[in-house]
Amino acid sequence: MLAFLEAILSSTLDFAPSILLAALGGVLSERAGVVALGIEGMMRLGAFFAAVGALASGNAWVGLGCGMAAAGIAALMHAWLSIRWRSDQIISGVAINLVALAGVTFLVEALYGSTDTPAGATIGRLNLGAIGEWPLLRALDNHSHLTWIALVLPIALHVVFYRTPLGLRILAVGEKPAAAATLGVNVSAIRYGCVIVGGLLAGMGGSALSIATLDRFNNHMPAGQGFIALAAVIFGKWTPLGASGAALFFAAANALRIGLESSLPEVASLVPTGFLLALPYILTLFLLAGFIGRARAPAASGVPFDTERR
């Protein structure tokens, strides 16, 4: 039983970075008042261009930069449409998802003649030394650097939000942008910055799929994980620590599915394969439907700010 628990914990930490980083990007964007519906597309762009960059350079960190840059450009476009032109943020996010779905499919088939890229470089794994010899704690050993970055960032973002002037400005812009503007806060600049940084985080999450969890891009990526990240934002009530906890829960659900299939085949044989594949998504719907309590989005989320009408 202990070995099974260790396997679940280890797999959870392997799967967590993609959802966790994307969820943090969603929290940052929505806290500033811009709906982050395009996270799925940004993750897809990040996963593809990270794999391409790693293949071209032979360096996974270069690939990570390429993936983040691609997602950041998509986020910049979303910010420009949403903030400068005050377009419908839902439509803009859906457009990013659709363009990423079709565009990346075209590029991967045109460049590689397949739905997958060839195997490339991957982010290194951190060896914790003596910890690897302790029961249960050994599950913390030998994980990607992105795993530890993803575990530290929620704490850093929490400190920024609730302990710094910049964080208070972000929260004010997401709740009462007109009031923040009267105090001299540049609402547009705050929103641009948060949407772009949120896109970079989503791109890092997508990159984790192709250069950390796997060593290549697969055309199924991110397989709905961007939408699960959005669910984590809601489940976590738009807070960095809450969203990261929800993301870890969803990663654990995926790890449980794989653990049942590999470690307990006698149990998996009694459960339909389709149910196991759907388990993370079923838990997402189950929790959102009845276990998060009252979740209130930032008051100005999705509401364009018009300086002429304040």
Q: Domain residues of the chain, as ranges? A: 10-121+143-309
Q: How far is CA 283 from CA 146, 275, 288, 289, 303, in A?
A: 25, 11, 8, 10, 30
92 in Cβ contact with 78 (< 8 Å):
yes
Tens digit of pLDDT for each residue in 106-144?
999 999 998 899 999 999 888 877 766 777 777 788 889
DSSP string, 32-46: TT---TTHHHHHHHH
d(CA 79, CA 74): 9
Query: Is 310 a residue whose pLDDT tops 90?
Result: no
At which residue do the structure tokens 């985080």 appear?
Answer: 201
pLDDT value at residue 187: 95
Across 7-32, average pLDDT: 92
Of the listed ranges 23-32, 158-167, 277-286, the least confidently predicted one is 277-286
125 in Cβ contact with 60 (< 8 Å):
no
pLDDT tier, 309 (very low <50, low <70, confident <90, very high otherwise)? low
Across 146-162, average pLDDT: 96
2.40.128, 1.10.3470, 1.10.10, 1.20.120: CATH of 10-121+143-309: 1.10.3470
Residues β-bridged to residue 127: none
pLDDT value at residue 99: 96
- Nearest 5°: phi and psi at 116? -125, 155
Tens digit of pLDDT for each residue in 42-97?
999 999 999 999 999 999 999 999 999 999 999 999 999 999 999 999 999 999 99
pLDDT value at residue 308: 56
Query: Is 211 a residue whose pLDDT tops 80?
Result: yes
> For a pLDDT cut of 70, what percent of the chain falls above it?
88
Query: Is 272 a residue whose pLDDT tops 80?
Result: no
Of the listed ranges 166-180, 181-195, 218-232, 288-302, the least confidently predicted one is 288-302
Across 186-195, average pLDDT: 96
pLDDT tier, 291 (very low <50, low <70, confident <90, very high otherwise)? low
pLDDT value at residue 165: 96
pLDDT value at residue 265: 64
pLDDT value at residue 225: 92
pLDDT tier, 104 (very low <50, low <70, confident <90, very high otherwise)? very high
Tens digit of pLDDT for each residue in 240-268?
999 999 899 888 888 877 777 666 666 65
Query: Is 148 a residue whose pLDDT tops 60?
Result: yes
Q: Judge if the upstream peptide bond of residue 240 is cis by omega within 30 degrees of 0.
A: no
Across 273-278, average pLDDT: 70
